Structure 1
Amino acid sequence: MMNSTQASYFTLGAYFNTGVLKYLYFILVMILYMLIICANLVLIVVICVNRSLHEPMYMFLCSLFVNELYGSTGLFPLLLLQILSDIHTVSASACFLQIFCLYTYASVEFFNLAIMSYDRYLAICYPLQYKTHMTHNKIAVLIALIWFYCSVVCFLPMCLSVPLQLCGNIINKVYCDNYSIVKLACSDTTVNNIYGLIATFVTISCPVSLILYTYTKIFKVCFSGSKHTRQKAISTCTPHLASLLNFSFGAFFEVYQTRFNMNSVPNMVRIFLSLYWLTCQPLFNPVVYGLNVSSIRIICKNLIHFKM
């Protein structure tokens, strides 16, 4: 522990000595990182190159895949370095940079999924007016607003946390976390806590409200429509719902273990839960959309056959 001061570095306390197994963990995590990069890059290229995929849904998907690359890059390089290191320290500047990247990733992911639910709502409930509502300009503005809003909202906590006088420098995680730094503070954190609660409430409540509204309307159309309408709605909404549930599951456990004491849970389980939303989602999305969205699946098959 240290006296009340501004920390120049932080120690990530969730790591433990694994001996020679650290090289195995390094290889496994590196393979996972390479798979995430390759899977998301392939789908980004497929969407950008094929003009037939320059439709609203695929543009939102492209933004989603770009965000997966962004979030993974904010996590994996430092994670790989810490796995091989015997001293699990990180400079304060690198720690706050990682916090900004991971918080922005989570916010953009949630808002992007919410906008995608609105896109599916328009496509299913108002198919004739869909193209007039979802123009390329509107899509570009929506995506830009999502990234701008999330960047601003996630940058402000950094500005509030950097000046804090800290009584310790140990973060009990395998990556940097802003709330964990705030808990180390000896100085007043009232502004940090109030802003954190407001920002979290807005960032969660707005997307959740939009998702609940749109899917209520979609299910209403499904139950009152024909069999063909139900099948079309199910085929277009299944990948989105799967992605949404997967991300929500991981984010819930991350928020829960950050805010509440989970010392009774084994360390390996806590590490897995804290990494789930940052590692499984970036790999889950390319798989679920690549396999379930027929247009992307067909183009990928054609590319593979062409190369062979």
Structure 2
Amino acid sequence: MTATPHLDAASARGREFLGTRHAIMAGAMTWVSERNLVSAISNAGGFGVLACGAMPPAMLEAEIAATRALTDKPFGVNLITLHPQLDELIQVCARQQVSHVVLAGGLPPGPAIAAIKGFGAKLMCFAPTAALAKKLVRSGVDAIVIEGSEAGGHIGPVSLTVLAQEILPVITDVPVFVAGGIGRGNAIAAYLDMGASGVQLGTRFAAAAESVAHDRFKQAFVRASAREAIASVQIDPRLPVIPVRALKNAGSDAFNERQREVAAAVDRGEMDLAAGQLAIEHYWAGALRRAVVEGDVETGSLMAGQSVGMVTKVQPVAEIIAELVAEAEAALARANAREAAA
């Protein structure tokens, strides 16, 4: 194993928290972050995270057990706070003695926090603002993830470069992991230098050799540039659209046209507002599965972050992590050398 003294020192807090060789987390991606990819990331020294998504409890339990059969290294489980069976899913994690739970999709309810802490897991939550990060820490959350708008999938309005400047200086009691647009090791080095304990990546891992995503999905990532990973737009303020970053394709173009059609139908009285909102909300139903599982890259949802421009080929996970680590170590070594010479 290549020595990385500068990176090890800079990421010591994150590595200790995760229990891993490197403080590189994987984002939890529905239909992608399952046993094969998660175990490959953990086996390569990173920290894989299972995406529960809409799984029922029995399916999550089976997936955790299957992942354990493929790795003896630490990994986490991502749960969505709005899942109707959240309590049962937490019980599954308790039975399976999951070491780390990531709660996503909104402010976590107090009973969920207490239940997760109660069985001894380390709890990680997302914070879009410094104020919310402080509130989460006060409620007992063990680590914070801040994710910028450069990320793929559901996104907030603020870039990671701004969030890091706002949040890293004021959240020091717990580790903070940063996410969104990270595709190279020199960015990892920069955020560690700013005070991050580690990083989270999704897009590069989605196109890894071990990812179960359809080959057409992966090749779309290889071909894409950063500017093709666009956030969905809301055409009419009456018809809410939750921003999602994905590769521009025929489906995203058709979605914009569908918004215009629905808005016009509401204006003409052919559809009431509630029905129009439901039509917009349901437009993308099943679209991510179509893209990832079936390889429908034309009308499916190709959720990808802006770091997709740094996906130049399908690579094994171990190779991706080795590249990131070598780049980060080199960047930190250069910085240390400049400081020593000053």
TM-score by length of 1: 0.25
Structure (1/2) with the larger helix percentage: 1
Q: What TM-score do the two structures reach when normalised by structure 2?
A: 0.23
Which structure exhibits the higher relative contact order, with contacts defined as CA atoms closer than 8 Å and separated by 6 or more residues? Answer: 1
